[in-house]
């Protein structure tokens, strides 16, 4: 049996992150900016040229922070690496 046949990669049917989200879920909402700060700081429309502004919001997955961490933890467990399995560190010369 060769090494290719004896090694079995960890695999879970983890969907891509866009398939996990549901419309309206939020992880963290920024507080509203105070009126005094708004008066002193220029708005984005004053700084960013119109040709660089989005016409519609980007299509991003809507998940909670815990769901994002859980998703990437599952993906990281499918990786083969020196930090999670025995790794031969002998001389290769």
Q: Which two tokens stand for residue 18?
A: 């866009």
Q: Among 57, 89, 70, which Cα is nearest to 15's?
A: 70
**Distance between CA atoms of residues 23 and 90, nearest Å:** 51
Write the CA distances from 89 to 41, 77, 93, integer angstroms.
56, 21, 12
What is the band of 72 on the pLDDT scale with cuts at 50, 70, 90? Answer: very high
Q: What is the pLDDT of residue 71?
A: 93
> What is the tens place of the pLDDT at every residue in 17-54?
999 988 888 777 889 989 888 888 877 777 888 899 88
58, 77, 74: which is closest to 66 by C-alpha? 74
């Amino acid at each position: 049996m060769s090494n290719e046949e004896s090694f079995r990669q960890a695999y879970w049917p983890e969907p891509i992150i866009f398939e996990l989200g549901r419309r309206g879920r939020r992880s963290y909402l920024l507080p509203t900016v105070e009126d005094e700060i708004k008066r002193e700081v220029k708005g984005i429309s004053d700084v960013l040229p119109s040709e660089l502004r989005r016409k519609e919001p980007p299509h991003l997955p809507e998940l909670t922070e815990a769901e994002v961490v859980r998703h990437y933890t599952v993906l990281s467990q499918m990786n083969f690496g020196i930090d999670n399995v025995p790794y031969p560190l002998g001389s290769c010369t």
